[in-house]
Structure 1
Amino acid sequence: MQTEKLFRVGEYIELFNQMTGQALPCGAIYQSHGLAKHIQKRHAGENEHLNDIPAIIQNPDYIGKHPKEKNSIELVKVLHQNVMVCIKLDLDENYLFVASVFEITEAKLRNRINSGRLKRIDN
């Protein structure tokens, strides 16, 4: 793992595996210094949420997994908007990292809850 390009932003806990039916490794979640560039390119104007990532990981309101993305989870926190943090497992080096962060609409949040893709976390 190239640690000079990564920094720790949270902890993956066993509850996340229990709620999503996965077996991802518990422990540190990392973020690359290049995530800001990804956000600017893919989710323009949402860089403000980079600072929210640790709080969202520590205290999400909803958790789920993308049906087509194995070895990943989605965490959602209801702030002034609904903010989703996508976390993936690097299979080569076996560490979890933040792949993206962006806002989702209330309609998307409700749709994903109703479909079972997202589940409420009672903290």
Structure 2
Amino acid sequence: MDINQFNENSSGRLVVGKINREKITKLTGVTFIEEEVFIYPGAIKHINRNHPLVWNQYKDELPSILLNPDYIGQNPKVPNSVELYKFISNYLLLAIKLDPSGYVFVSSFYVLDNAEYKIKKRLASGRVQVYE
């Protein structure tokens, strides 16, 4: 998918998909007001710089990851954030955050190294749970 195929609103944010707000709130306690999820062009640059090839290889999967991840969790150091985990050909971690003004945006997107170990550890600690 070409980045220009995403719906762009007037602020330069790109719409990449929607979340199930009620389900995320039920599983994590984080309340999102909006269902649409945005990404800024600067975040795409960050992803491409720090996680080469992830954006180009997996950006078409964003709507599916947002609506149907395998696991969901929270980074205890980042308030009002949710981590979505999805296995495609690797485990991907898509981090979304709630902006103080109410919209939801992608903050990072990368292949989770040593994923099986990390997910197992995070499941045991309660940081992550199955998205059911």
Match of 1:79 among 88, 103, 106: 88
Match of 1:11 among 10, 13, 18: 18
Percent identity over the alignment is: 32
Show CA shifts across 1:57-78 (max 9, x none). 0111111111011011001111
Equivalents in 1 of 2:49, 2:103: separation in Å?
24
Aligned to 1:31: 39
Deviation for aligned residue 1:50: 2.3
Structure 1: segments with no counterpart, 5+ residues:
none
Which AA in structure 2 matches 1:53? L
TM-score w.r.t. the length of structure 2 is 0.81
Q: Please identify runs of 4+ aligned residues in structure 1 that moved more than 3 A.
A: none
Equivalents in 1 of 2:22, 2:85: separation in Å?
17
Which AA in structure 2 matches 1:70? P
Which AA in structure 1 matches 2:126? G
Show CA shifts across 1:69-116 (max 9, x none). 10110011111111111001111x321001111111221121111211
Structure 2: segments with no counterpart, 5+ residues:
1-8
Count of residue correspondences: 120
TM-score w.r.t. the length of structure 1 is 0.87
The question of whether the paired residues in 1 share the 8 Å contact of 2:32 and 2:102 is answered with: no
RMSD value, Cα: 1.6
